[in-house]
């Protein structure tokens, strides 16, 4: 009996000692991984969950903390997404979405400017045209900073109705009610212009964009195109794989893109010898970002294209999106990228062959590009 009591005594002592040692090891591992700052974040969440007396939404607390963490990087290209925003982003990047069929920009303080209308979508059927202004959504004014909420308010569940207050270029106003529907968004539109110059407009670099660009350029070549204009205005970029596929299709053999990660490791993407042997021009504006900038830069660097339009921002970092356990995601800059010759656009943007701004009448940028191609 004495020996049994001695064993129980050891067991009683051993269990808490083991627990303390295990906790200490785990704490040491956590400290090594995230440091005292990371442990502070975890302790902050613990304190909120264990001591805060008010009502709160834990997901909202975590979203706010993660958003603040990304903001603290001081990098304009990194961003945080809630679960809903992350799901919406993934949907948009398939070039399929639920909406009314308008592409907008934020250039006007009075609302969202319609820059493109999807064929056969609700907006086109209601007579909405590019150049019009959306000033309110369901009675919510989009003036000033509120316009940045506009795109999210226009989106919604398929089959639901949204009311848009529209203002035309001549100042006429009207209210349009549209039923949201599922739409295929073709990222490429193309046509043959006067003088057998092919015009190709690219909306983004997401799913199927490279395949569609190749299809349209091939069609224009078969129809006798003697030159090509690529319209990258209001193109916010997308997947690097789509960019390099396009450049490989258009350009002859040689390096077309370089990425460099945090450790300094470089990856060089090469083009094969097959190419499109035509003079080219690229249209850009202040809303031409990322892959769209590098598309123009690489064509110019290879001596096959001129660039016409407005100065660009000079985005030179690629973002990788990391899904998080609670459904949200962090998209942070994980590598720098360069043209095939090693040129970065950071802080400089594109070097324009001709700087041209739009005046509101006609398309002065396209006209300038056509003029350069004919020289």
| DSSP of 51-102 | H--S---HHHHHHHHHHHHHHTTT-TT-EEE-HHHHHHHHHHTTTEEEE-SE
Q: How many helices (H) and strands (E) does the chain have?
A: 9, 19
Kindly give the confidence (pLDDT) of every residue in the chain, 375 residues in length, as a single tens digit, with 9 standing for 90 and above: 444 445 555 555 555 655 555 655 665 665 666 677 877 888 888 899 999 999 999 999 999 999 999 999 999 889 999 998 888 888 778 877 788 988 888 878 899 999 888 888 999 999 999 899 999 999 999 999 888 888 889 988 889 999 999 999 889 999 999 999 988 778 999 999 999 999 999 999 999 999 999 999 999 999 999 999 999 999 999 999 999 999 999 999 999 999 999 999 999 999 999 999 999 999 999 999 999 999 999 999 999 999 999 999 899 998 999 999 999 999 999 999 999 999 999 989 999 999 999 987 889 999 999 999 987
Looking at CATH, the fold of the domain delimited by 188-374 is given as 2-enoyl-CoA Hydratase; Chain A, domain 1 (3.90.226)
- Neighbouring CB atoms inside 10 A of 300's CB total 20
User: What pLDDT is recorded for position 203?
Assistant: 92
- The neighbouring-strand residues paired with 184 are 96
| 8 Å CB contact between 263 and 305 | no
What is the pTM for the complete model shown? 0.73
The whole-angstrom separation of Cα 246 and Cα 243 is: 5
> Considering only CA atoms, which of 97, 311, 319 is closest in space to residue 203?
97
- Which of the following CATH numbers is that of domain 97-184: 3.30.420.240, 1.20.1290.10, 2.30.42.10, 3.50.30.30? 2.30.42.10
> Considering only CA atoms, which of 168, 161, 102, 160 is closest in space to residue 135?
168
The whole-angstrom separation of Cα 176 and Cα 149 is: 19
Q: How far is CA 361 from CA 82, 105, 171, 234, 286, in A?
A: 41, 18, 16, 18, 19
Angle at 39 between CA 36 and CA 45, to 5 degrees: 145
The whole-angstrom separation of Cα 217 and Cα 369 is: 18
Determine if residue 249 is left, alpha or beta; phi over 0 gives left, psi from -120 to 50 gives alpha, anything else beta. Answer: alpha
Residues shown for the chain: 375
């Amino acid at each position: 009996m004495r020996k049994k009591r001695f064993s129980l005594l050891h067991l009683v002592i051993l269990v808490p000692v083991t627990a303390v040692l295990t906790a200490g090891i785990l704490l040491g591992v956590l400290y090594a991984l995230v440091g005292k700052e990371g442990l502070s974040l975890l302790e902050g969440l613990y304190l909120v969950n264990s001591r805060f007396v008010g009502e709160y939404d834990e997901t909202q607390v975590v979203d706010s903390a993660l958003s603040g963490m990304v903001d603290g990087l001081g990098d304009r290209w990194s961003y945080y997404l809630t679960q809903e925003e992350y799901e919406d982003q993934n949907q948009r990047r398939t070039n399929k979405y639920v909406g009314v069929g308008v592409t907008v920009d934020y250039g006007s303080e009075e609302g969202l400017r319609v820059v493109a209308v999807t064929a056969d979508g609700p907006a086109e059927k209601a007579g909405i045209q590019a150049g019009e202004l959306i000033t309110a959504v369901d009675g919510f004014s989009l003036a000033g900073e509120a316009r940045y909420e506009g795109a999210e308010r226009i989106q919604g569940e398929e089959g639901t109705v949204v009311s848009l207050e529209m203002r035309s270029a001549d100042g006429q106003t009207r209210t349009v009610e549209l039923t949201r529907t599922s739409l295929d968004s073709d990222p490429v539109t193309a046509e043959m212009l006067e003088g057998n110059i092919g015009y190709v407009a690219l909306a983004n670099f997401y799913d199927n964009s490279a395949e569609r660009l190749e299809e349209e350029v091939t069609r224009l070549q078969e129809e006798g195109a003697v030159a090509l204009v690529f319209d990258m205005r209001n193109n916010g970029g997308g997947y690097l794989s789509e960019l390099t596929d396009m450049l490989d299709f258009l350009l002859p053999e040689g390096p077309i893109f370089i990425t460099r990660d945090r450790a300094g490791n470089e990856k060089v993407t090469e083009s094969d010898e097959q190419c499109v042997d035509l003079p080219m021009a690229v249209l850009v504006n202040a809303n031409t970002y990322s892959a769209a900038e590098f598309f123009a830069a690489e064509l110019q660097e290879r001596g096959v294209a001129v660039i016409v339009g407005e100065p660009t921002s000079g985005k030179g970092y690629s973002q990788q999106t990391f899904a998080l356990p609670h459904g949200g995601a962090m998209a942070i800059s994980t590598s720098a990228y360069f043209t095939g010759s090693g040129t970065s656009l950071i802080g400089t943007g594109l070097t324009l062959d001709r700087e041209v701004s739009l005046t509101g009448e006609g398309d002065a940028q396209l006209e300038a590009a056509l003029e350069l191609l004919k020289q």
